[in-house]
Homo-oligomer: A and B are copies of this chain.
Amino acid sequence: MSAPNPSDSGSARRLVRPAVAALAGYVPGEQPSDPRVVKLNTNENPYPPSPRVAEAIAAAAGNLHLYPDPDSSALRRAAARLYGVDPDGVVVGNGSDELLAMLLRAAVDPGEVVAYPIPTYSLYDTQVALQGGRSMHFPYPADWSLPEAIFGCGARVFFICNPNAPSGTLVPLDAIERLARENPGSIVVADEAYVDFCDGTAVGLVGRVPNLVVLRSFSKSYSLAGLRVGLAMTTPALAAELLKVKDSYNLDRLAQAGALAALEDQAAMRANVDRVRATRARLSAELGRLGFRVVPSETNFVLAYGPGESQEGVARSLKERGVLVRWFRALPDALRISVGTDAQVDRLLDELRSLVAR
């Protein structure tokens, strides 16, 4: 495909908002199409979802000529039952990424502040810039607790990725509750994409703490990264405001049906989570033996600080050998490694051993 002609680019930039013309855009992790690549770079679940998902999708494929339910009612009711929240407080999104964007669109006027501890999910920066908001960053202390300075910073919205990516660490529930209670005019978002891999969900606070929103994703524990479904849980009143900025048919028939089937088979999800946790323990121990310092992980990935200074070269060498892991410019001496199958993890460890031995 051809690169845009520079003079065309200049004209096109004059057709859009200056803020957009200046934007670089979010770069997602690499998604190679070669199935031989060992893909440990985007925190996917290496195991397939419940077999009921494919059955539900096949059944729903019979009615594709009709619009989906704009309210995703069946899915919202099932989520409400499972998590013990009011169904009118549940909003579903095309991935939790869409829910993050909806929260910003609903709550942030130009120049208003969105605060979060860093390092964290880098999409927050992109989305805040897009909405014209101002990101306020609070570096995590060495023990990965919530930075004290964030509590009084007066942000309009707080994003707490909990457990956090890329550290894999969890802040305690009482810190989330305190943040919400001390900032009653702001929205506190607990982005719990990885919470099924640990204990520590804030979902029990939903409804009791009126300015709290808990986000969940089907991409990790439910093995449905390819289906794009996320959930927001909050009060019915705040959900009603979020619904105003939702695309009316944001979730297609197949995604609604597949996510519902996945929710209704908790045993399948739990079995996959248990397998991932067992492999995570083994991966962490082996990385330790190779000289990495591994942050204790509550998620389906580990953050491993290497024995050498920069890990950029290690990530590149692994890629040349067909193993993808994530390296971040902001954390140059670490690798973020998703927990794959045992065979994938063995392959990674073999390659790492041969690299370290050189």
Q: Determine whether the beta carbon of A25 is less than 8 Å from that of B86.
A: no
Q: Determine whether the beta carbon of B66 is less than 8 Å from that of A61.
A: no
- A2-B86, A67-B44, A95-B247 are contacts. A252–B227 as well, Cβ < 8 Å? yes
Complex CA–CA separation, A106 to B22 (angstroms): 11
In the complex this chain forms, how many copies of it are found?
2
Q: Determine whether the beta carbon of A15 is less than 8 Å from that of B238.
A: yes
Complex CA–CA separation, A8 to B88 (angstroms): 13
Q: Determine whether the beta carbon of A235 is less than 8 Å from that of B14.
A: no
Flag A246-267 by CB within 8 Å of B: 1 or 0 each.
0111111111001000000000
Q: Determine whether the beta carbon of B226 is less than 8 Å from that of A68.
A: yes
Q: Determine whether the beta carbon of A65 is less than 8 Å from that of B48.
A: yes
Chain B residues, Cβ within 8 Å of A28: 67, 70, 248-249
Q: Determine whether the beta carbon of B33 is less than 8 Å from that of A49.
A: no
Which chain A residues in 105-136 approach chain B with CB under 8 Å?
A: 105-110, 123, 130
Question: Which of B21, B24, B105 is within 8 Å of A130, CB to CB?
Answer: B105
Which chain A residues in 211-229 approach chain B with CB under 8 Å?
A: 211, 219, 223-228
Task: Give chain A's interface residues, CB within 8 Å of chain B.
Answer: 1-5, 8-9, 11-21, 23-26, 28-29, 31, 33, 39, 42, 44-49, 53-54, 57-58, 60-70, 86-88, 94-95, 97-98, 101, 105-110, 123, 130, 185-187, 210-211, 219, 223-228, 235-238, 240-241, 243-245, 247-255, 258
Shortest 8 CB-CB contacts between residues of A and residues of B = A12-B237, A8-B237, A226-B253, A4-B237, A65-B223, A64-B226, A25-B244, A228-B252
